Structure 1
Amino acid sequence: MIRHDHKLHEGASLKRAARDRLVREGEQWTDMRAAVFDALAGFEKPASAYDIAEAVSNTQGRRVAANSVYRILDLFVTANLARRVESANAYVANQHPGCLHDCIFLICDTCGQAVHIDDDNLTSGVREAAKEAGFSAPRPVIEVRGTCGDCRVS
């Protein structure tokens, strides 16, 4: 497996890296975007827009609509601040927003945990197959559903 050489950010470092990336993309880091990112980064598992809207609403003491959160999440995915777990219709914060790469999620059907791994050998094969089919796949996302080691042992 080819590994990427990048720093995984956490906490304040993750928020700074996300803000810096968004600003480099020509977007503003507003209070609402910061609140949505904080909520997203606070989840240990993929979170839906509704989960995030509820977390932001609780933090701010006012109702935040899921529609507003969806628009912000779409921006975050485009800017590489978040990844969408398609099969769960949920999102995770990207711990290395400055690095553009393909994404492989291992998703546990029992507990909902999603582990993100990088494997350029696997994704380059997907890219090549897409190219041979006349399809452009600039950043493939692969999802593998199954049971994580913790749940398999339980």
Structure 2
Amino acid sequence: MATHAHTHHEHSGESLIDAARESLVASGEQWTSMRSDVFEELARHDRPASAYDIADNLSAKRGKRVAPNSVYRILDLFVSNNLALRVESSNAYLANSHPGCTHDCIFLVCDECGEATHIDNDDISSKVRGVAKSANFSTRRPIIEIRGICASCS
């Protein structure tokens, strides 16, 4: 079982924000100041962040209340444009370090510290898609979460 090694660039910091903006604009969407602020806040987190965490931090930064519903709408836009990844079991989000990339999501989620490691494994993804196809089910984007304890916590 081979884990997919990315041959494209893993972005971080300003490079990540620039790549996200370019990807969103290329898809026909606008990169507004609020979307920029939400993405920057999301990108600074090492662990999955909830819309409430992001809204609270942005409220403090902006000096006025930012509604979690507004943040949810922006995060949904980011997920649909592959700028962010959603950890379903914790309803939290991670910035996609390679915006626009459409690999299936496989997360290793630590029950102790909350860390979610995103891995790509084309063998597993193709098998999951194959099982769905054999059941006459059309997949959009499989998300697999494996709960357990990370190396740091074990």
TM-score normalised to the size of structure 2? 0.96
Aligned equivalent of 1:139: 141
Question: What SS does the aligned partner of 1:149 have?
Answer: coil
- 1:23-71: per-residue Cα shift (whole Å, max 9, x none)? 0110000000000001101111101100000111111111100000000
Q: Are positions 1:111 and 2:113 aligned together?
A: yes
CA contact (8 A) 2:81 2:100 kept: no
- Report the Cα distance in structure 2 between the residues aligned to 1:53 and 1:98, rounded to whole angstroms: 24
Which residue of the partner structure matches residue 63 of structure 1?
65
8 Å contact from structure 1 (residues 6, 99) kept in 2: no
Structure 2 partner of 1:148: 150
Residue type of the alignment partner of 1:61? G
What residue is the counterpart of 2:53 in the other structure?
51
Cα shift readout 1:91-132 (whole Å, capped 9, x = no counterpart): 000000132111110000000000010100011000000000
| Number of equivalences | 152
For structure 2, which runs of at least 5 residues remain unmatched after alignment?
none
Match of 2:74 in 1: 72
Taking the aligned partners of 1:120 and 1:138, their CA distance within structure 2 comes to 15
Choose the corresponding residue for 2:93, options 91, 96, 111.
Answer: 91
Structure 2 counterpart of 1:26: 28
Partner of 2:131: 129
Tell me, in whole angstroms, the C-alpha distance in 1 between the residues paired with 2:8 and 2:120: 11
The structure 1 segments of at least 4 consecutive aligned residues displaced by more than 3 Å after TM superposition are: none
Letter of the structure 2 residue corresponding to residue 119 of structure 1? N
What is the alpha-carbon distance in structure 2 between the residues aligned to residue 44 and residue 57 of structure 1? 20
> In the aligned structure 2, how far is the partner of 1:108 from the partner of 1:26?
36
Structure 1 gaps of 5+ residues are none
Distance between the aligned counterparts of 1:77 and 1:98, measured in 2?
Answer: 10
Alpha-carbon contact 1:108-1:145 (below 8 Å) kept: yes
Partner of 1:150, secondary structure, is coil
Q: TM-score of the superposition, structure 1-length normalised?
A: 0.96
